[in-house]
Structure 1
Amino acid sequence: MANRASSELSLDETKLRSTDESTSTEDVPKKSEYVSEKKNPSTTPSLDSGDDEEKIEQVAEEDGLPVVVREIVSLEDNPEDVNITFRFFTLSVIFSVLGAFVTQLSWFRTTSAPFSILFVQVATHWLGHWMAKILPSWRIGFGKFSFSLNPGPFSLKEHVLITLCVASGSQNNLGEIAIATADIFFDRVYNPAAAIFFMISAITLSYSFACIARNFLIYEPEFIFPQALMQTQLFRTLRKDTFDKSAASWQLKIFAIVAVSIYLWEFLPEFVFPLLSSLAVICWFAPHNATAKFVGSGLGGMGFLNFSLDWANLSNSTGSVYLMPWWTQVVYFTSFVVTMWIIVPIIHFKGLWNADIIPIFSQALWTLDGKPYNVTNIISIPSYTFNATAYEIQGPVRISPYYMLTIFASYTSYISVFVYIVLFAGPKLVATFKLLLKRDSRASRNDRLSQIMSKYPEVPFLWWAILFVLSFVTVLVTIIEGGFGVPIWTFIIAVLFGAISVVPMGYIFAVSNYQVQVGVFNELLFGYMAPGLHPTVSLFYRCLAAETWYRAQSILLDMKLGHYMMIPPRLVFFSQVFGTFLGSPVNYAVIRWVVATKRPYLDGTMTDPNGQYSGQQAKSYYTSSTQYGLIGPKILFADSTYTPLLYGFLVGAIVPVIMYALHRAFPRAKFELWNATIFFGGMSNWFGNLSTGPLSSIIGGFFCQFYLFRYRHEIWRKYNYLVGSALDTGFNLAVLVKLITET
């Protein structure tokens, strides 16, 4: 069942006949050989027609790789390429610092996109070649401790390693959910050294979780990691010297045209015509009707028949119209329709769950009569613990109906992933575990890529063990000395849960490019283990129990990219860890600066006139931490209002079983693609402030991942990931310019 579930990733991707005959079956080269397997155009069949059904039904078995991988990943490798150079360190530092600044700043904003690694790929390509031309070939240092400023041409491996390093260093940091929330809502500023070391060690702890999952997910060809494929194609396009130069030249022109066009376009919805961000058709016909505004608005409404021409909204709504497989986009959009177009209007118009007195899309806490809940009144000072007497006086806390729905879906999503992976992927993972008993699981696999990679030494287990021990000890010290308040024994539970979760969650990400966000469950667990503590304590626990394995998925993605680009695993390990140490201090500095300058907008005392600094993520963490960390689920769920939320666990356990039974009964109906984890994960996403985009996204996804993939496959193969990376590059350049002008 696992083979079937993971092989039908995007409209039967593994049932397409390969259009690239470059993957020869000659013996694995020796370490010093240059492997060059060129494409033979005369033997390459064209799929650029509307008559591809028979070709789609043919299984590609040559080389043991899924066809979508064979079409994009080149099996050319030059082990002698330069890798860690002065250029590597220079460009890695510059872009990691820049990326950490932009991404952390975006965490506080309403509409934003993360710092695009695709932009980094393009920028470092040109800068790397420029540095190779202008830098002198001087040697700095003495003997073994010397290096050359310019060791030669800018190599492909050097380029990939820079990208991997920046990908690690340019992300926002895990610790922000506790450190920023404590500062915004409780005026608690932790020791800077303790905060920074906690942020770094929490991420390096993620590498230990990635180590657990890498042999299950990285070296197994069926787990394709769509984003890694997109980045691989962009590398090939930029490195036009590695394949057909005329085709590469044309692809570079397409990339440049698309990137410049979207860069210029994004200034229209942002500054000139904001209407383009939310085309509310219903509101056009009844502009002054409150019901029409609620139904049709994409800003604080249902977003029914709401279109968007802003790439920020399209890319945020599903992740990526050109990257996510079609089946994933269908499941995700279905969850949006069920949530926002069916359940939400029923709740709103029927007044369910106090919708008649509490704003349905609020992320704040409320009293029984619909007034803002004063959390500080139920915290005992100076112990910062729960004051039960004050809670009885002020009354039970209430949250918005839509917030309750997202919590229910989060519980359901978390449980469903474990049931789903046992039913659909269990045999595959068991077989992979048996391979781990062999000395080198890469060499024992039959696919061509793993055999080529087996000539590079693996990262020794000792490296992972040392990193884990250092991370574990550092977290312990920061917890104790930093005043974070996390009980030590709960930290050990957090590590165990992270280790258990990383493979199931990584599996979903590897086949769908969808990352499940289920940190609420971990706060629930902490609330049962250690209730009544300061709200931010549960957030520190959440960083360790949930956000670490979430970051591990990104680490696995970069490992897969290194695998596709045939980068030695030890160099991948070094570049990722090095990037982590670059980004975390910048993340902390940005957190302190934004909170100091935007506090009234973030805590809700004032409204940002531009609607950008809403701090909606911080508010969400503040609410959940108060519920689970301070009040505690034992008190919370004693209230009949919240009791139905616990049925989410039962639903999450039952739905995958139903899908599996239907799949066994009707194997051609593809019930295995209706992934309950993705469906309920989509329901748990917060669309309350921004519901514009999903409708436009599914239309774009239909064109890219259904029509082009099935009926114009040659066009899809050449341009889908290329155009997608150009869109992200141009858009993120526009975001970067906007952020710089704002700051």
Structure 2
Amino acid sequence: MDREDDATFEKYDYDSEKYNDDLEGQLELNEEDDSPIEEVRVTVPNTDDPLMPCNTFRMWFLGLIFTGIISFVNQFFYLRHTQISIGYSVVALISLPLGHFMARVIPTRQFSLFGRSFSLNPGPFSIKEHVLIGTMTACNTGTAYAVDIVILQKVWYHSEKPFIAGLLLVLTTQVTGFALAGALRKVLIRPAHMIWPSTLVTASLFRSLHHSIEREEDHGRMSRMKYFLIITLGSFIYYWFPGYIFPTLGMLSWICWIDPENVVLSQLTGSNGLGIGTIALDWTAIAYYVQPLVTPWFAQVNILVGFILVAWVMVPWAYYTNLWNSKLYPILSAELYREDGSPFDMEQILTNGVLEPQKYIDYGPMRMDSFFALTYGVGFAGLTATVVHVVLYNGKELIQRWRSARQENEDIHSRLMRVYPEVPDWWYLSLFAASVALSLVTCIVWDYMPWWAVLLALAIAIFFVLPVGIVQAVTNQQPGLNIVTEYVIGYMLPGHAIANVTFKTYGYIVNVQALTFTSDLKLGHYMKIPPRIMFMAQVVSTVIAGIINLATASWLISTRPNICTKEGFPFTCRSTNTFYSASIIWGAVAPARVFGNKDGALYSPVQWGFLAALPYFYTNGLFVGFIFMYLLRRFRYNWWSRYNYLTSAALDSGVAICGLVIFFVFQSSGIEMPYWWGNPQDGNYDHCPLGYANANGVVH
């Protein structure tokens, strides 16, 4: 928003809390005029400064610069054996001094354009500018999913498409989901009980970085900024140990050390096995699946129960009773095998990337370990449980909200957002129509998949976006559509690997992007960012990031010999190799030959997971979650309300900065930590050699 009152801004120096204490005509607030949600009430201020600048030159300059840098760096390291990802917290920390620097040196001269007056430097660097810079990079910290399709075609299937085909594939899958967010605003953003817990961590981070006034009740307590810096420094220093000096700290499989050569003990307790009793003293491992300081405790309990049931009960039962001849394969692996336990060679069954049924019959059926198979079953179950839960517990409420959202009683944050013009519906509709049209053109012209498959994939994404969004907004967990999309198209177009992964990308990523943008809109809701500016910043940064992602991957494919193979180290493309395996399972071989009853399939019971109601399972962080989200919240509430979400942000920041320093200063220069017990040369950090008995005997 343009600066409207220079004198007012100079007087209050853009501090929103102080400004709103004195701003003439501000809303009359009292202690009860706040969010009804406890977590929001203790994290997000119930005030706003509508005149605070955010749509500024320095916001766009820094936001686009960081978008470009992060898109290149994260795509570059995505294909490396050691993956590095620059995240939200790093950008927030680096952009803060840069924003203040620009506010000091850029001329304050007024310019006129199309009858409007503006300045390149409207005053001190504001928290709203900072949030927008972080948001422009947040949705691009992960690389564009469709880039893997381009890599897959050239490296594995030897069928390269024109650059424009890959670019349109990337852009349409990344942008189409944004259009769906417009339809979700009424039910996933405005209602107070749609919390979106992860946004509270971000809000706490920015609030601490810009908080300059201590209230009366804060006297005698450590300031949020000081606390954040101390925890960040501590996290930075500590991560040198599990991240470089002492990697064994990240996987202390102490039970296995009783008898390291015992295969069964290693399978059950080793970090590369089922990990029973394994202790992880590494924040990256603790927070990898479940953000333990963010996810509500009731959701963590569900995760714990589901994890124990599947990973520590069902999988050992399946393996040691030799279900599906499981003992011929490792107890835990993402690799694919032949019936005798030898690796499955995909080249033996494909012609031009399409399955030859007779070749498959002659070569023999594909097999996988029991954990891999049961994981798919749990994925089926989790998605079904999501839909059933939302229909049973939220169906009537959703219908009411959909009909009368604008007439409902709103909390303070919704009322404060009334001052900002909402994004017109035609913006979302136009974006959606253009994206769908380009999707159809892309898939038909370059033969990715039939037109009806494009529409079906988008229909699946749209059908699940609301129930999945409700689950994520309340529990901080997002059930993915990757399995169901692979399953559907695998039966409809069996034998076509590229069509399978393309369908999955449109059905899965469109859904993910819709919820990513919705989450960002909720952050903007909490931080009082004008919706139109948030919309433009997100769309523009996403388009730029997609172009850079694809250009970076194409450059590496063309210049790095043996890329995505062991011989191409360090560019071994670990994640893309998994993507390739999925294309074989669901696309080339297809579900009928894996989970059905065709050509030697064994895993048909897994499909019945669609009828069960099991939650997703995760491995790390639940003990930490018990401490922070249950014990401290219940018995040390004052500390928890002030520092909990800030602790999560600080730990993330310290680890991210340390990881970058370790890689760029040491590992990229070939300076490795000397090998010792805590950093073994063979990479077996938990000192538990994982073995299994295949047709040739025990293999380590």
Counterparts of residues 74-473 of structure 1 (less than 5 Å): 74-105=45-76, 107-108=78-79, 114-138=85-109, 144=115, 148-241=119-212, 244=215, 250-298=223-271, 300-318=272-290, 320-381=291-352, 384-436=353-405, 441=406, 444-473=408-437
- SS of the counterpart of 1:392? helix
Q: Could you list the runs of 5+ residues in structure 1 that have no partner in the other structure?
A: 1-21, 40-60, 656-675, 686-692
C-alpha deviations, 1:310-368, integer Å up to 9, x for none? Answer: 111111132x1111111222222333322332223233333222222222322222222
Which residue is 1:503 aligned to?
A: 466
Deviations, residues 556-581 of structure 1 (Å, cap 9, x unaligned): 11010011111121111111112112
Q: Please tell me whether residue 735 in structure 1 is matched to residue 648 in structure 2.
A: no
Find the aligned partners of 1:586 and 1:517 in 2 and give their Cα distance: 26
Inter-CA distance 304–597: structure 2 relative to 1 (3 Å threshold) = farther
Give 3-state SS (helix, strand or coil) of 2:255's partner.
helix
The secondary structure found in structure 1 opposite 2:170 is helix
SS of 2:419's partner is coil
Does residue 1:73 correspond to 2:44, yes or no? yes
Give the corresponding residue for 2:674: none
User: Normalised by the size of structure 2, how large is the TM-score?
Assistant: 0.85
Question: Which residue of the partner structure matches residue 618 of structure 1?
Answer: 576
In structure 1, the partner of 2:482 is 519
Contact 1:33–1:79 (CA under 8 A) maintained in structure 2: no
Among 541, 548, 553, the alignment partner of 1:586 is 548
- 2:697 alignment counterpart: none
Identify which of 590, 593, 599 aligns with 1:632: 590
Corresponding position of 1:722? 646
State the Cα distance separating 1:512 from its structure 2 match. Answer: 0.7
Determine the C-alpha separation between the residues in 2 that align with 1:338 and 1:285.
25
2:691 aligns with none
1:366 partner letter: Y
Structure 2 counterparts to residues 587-606 of structure 1, below 5 A: 587-592=549-554, 602-603=564-565, 605=566
Give the Å deviation of 1:163. 2.0
- State how far apart, in whole Å, the 1-side matches of 2:85 and 2:630 are: 26
The answer on whether the counterparts of 1:161 and 1:575 sit within 8 Å (CA) in structure 2 is yes
In 2, the alpha carbon distance for the partners of 1:258 and 1:285 equals 35
Q: Contact conserved, 1:38 with 1:243, CA < 8 A, in 2?
A: no
Q: Tell me whether 194-203 or 281-290 shows the greater mean CA deviation.
A: 281-290
Paired AA for residue 608 in structure 2: Y
Map of 2:686 onto structure 1: none
Superposed CA RMSD in Å reads: 2.9
On the 8 A contact 1:537/1:629 being kept in 2, the answer is yes
Query: How far has the Cα of 1:305 moved from its partner?
Result: 0.9
Aligned residues: 644
The aligned counterpart of 2:450 is 487
Whichever residue aligns with residue 397 of structure 2, its letter is K
**Which string of whole-angstrom CA distances, capped at 9 and with x for unpartnered residues, describes residues 631-681 of structure 1?**
333344124512111211122xxx3xxxxxxxxxxxxxxxxxxxx4xx2x2
- 8 A contact 1:203–1:551 mirrored in 2: yes
Paired with 1:70 and 1:595, the residues of 2 have a C-alpha distance of 49
Change (3 A) 1:272 1:202: same
Aligned-residue identity in percent: 28
Matched residue, 2:675:
none
Partner of 1:42 in structure 2? Answer: none
Shift of 1:708: 0.9
| Distance change (3 Å), C-alpha of 1:310 and 1:113 | farther
Counterpart of 1:735 in 2: which secondary structure? helix
Shift of 1:478: 2.2
Aligned-pair CA distance for 1:161:
1.8
Unaligned runs of 5+ in 2: 1-15, 669-700
Render the CA deviation track for 1:15-53: whole Å, top value 9, x for unaligned.
Answer: xxxxxxx99xxxx99x995558598xxxxxxxxxxxxxx
Alpha-carbon distance in 2 for matches of 1:129, 1:577: 26
Shift of 1:594: 5.5
Which letter does structure 1 place at the counterpart of 2:584?
T
- Offset, 1:113: 7.1
Question: Counterparts of 1:286 and 1:594 in 2: how far apart (Å)?
Answer: 44
Q: 1:713 to 1:598 in 2, by over 3 A?
A: farther
Distance 1:339 1:602 in 2: 32
Alignment of 1:10-49 (within 5 A): 33-34=25-26
Residue aligning to 1:673: none
1:533-587: CA deviations, max 9, x gaps? 2x12211111101121022211111010011111121111111112112211222
Partners of 1:115 and 1:171 within 8 A in 2: no
Pair 156,509 (structure 1): closer, same or farther in 2 beyond 3 Å? same
User: Does the 8 Å contact 2:67/2:137 carry over to 1?
Assistant: yes
Tell me the amino acid that sits aligned with residue 202 of structure 2.
Q
What one-letter code is carried by the residue in structure 1 that aligns with 2:597? A
d(CA) in 1 for partners of 2:222 and 2:57?
A: 29
Structure 2 SS opposite 1:307: coil
Measured in 2, the distance between the counterparts of 1:740 and 1:587 equals 20
Q: Which residue of 2 aligns with 1:689?
A: none
Shift, 1:735, TM fit: 2.3
Q: How many angstroms apart in 1 are the aligned matches of 2:416 and 2:623? A: 40
Structure 1 residues 598 and 425 mapped into 2: Cα distance closer, same or farther (>3 Å)? Answer: farther
TM-score of the superposed pair, with normalisation by structure 1: 0.81
The answer to whether the 8 Å contact 1:119/1:732 transfers is yes
Aligned residue runs from structure 1 range 592-741, under 5 A: 592=554, 602-603=564-565, 605=566, 615-636=573-594, 637-639=596-598, 641-651=602-612, 655=613, 676=614, 679=615, 681-682=616-617, 694=620, 697-741=621-665
| Alpha carbons 2:152, 2:580 under 8 Å: kept | yes
Aligned partners of 2:490 and 2:591 also within 8 Å = yes
AA of the residue aligned to 1:222: H
Cα distance in 2 for residues equivalent to 1:33 and 1:479: 55
Distance 1:293 1:537, change over 3 A: same
- Would the aligned equivalents of 1:64 and 1:446 in 2 still touch at CA under 8 Å? no
Contact 1:35 1:78 in 2 (8 A): no
Q: Would the alpha carbon gap of residues 36 and 91 (structure 1) be closer, same or farther in structure 2, given more than 3 Å must change?
A: farther
Q: Is the 8 A contact 1:230 1:725 kept in 2?
A: yes
The 1:559–1:377 alpha-carbon spacing in structure 2 relative to 1, beyond 3 Å, is: same
Show CA shifts across 1:498-537 (max 9, x none): 111100011110001111123111111012222222x122
Give, as a single letter, the amino acid of the residue that structure 1 aligns with 2:274.
Answer: M
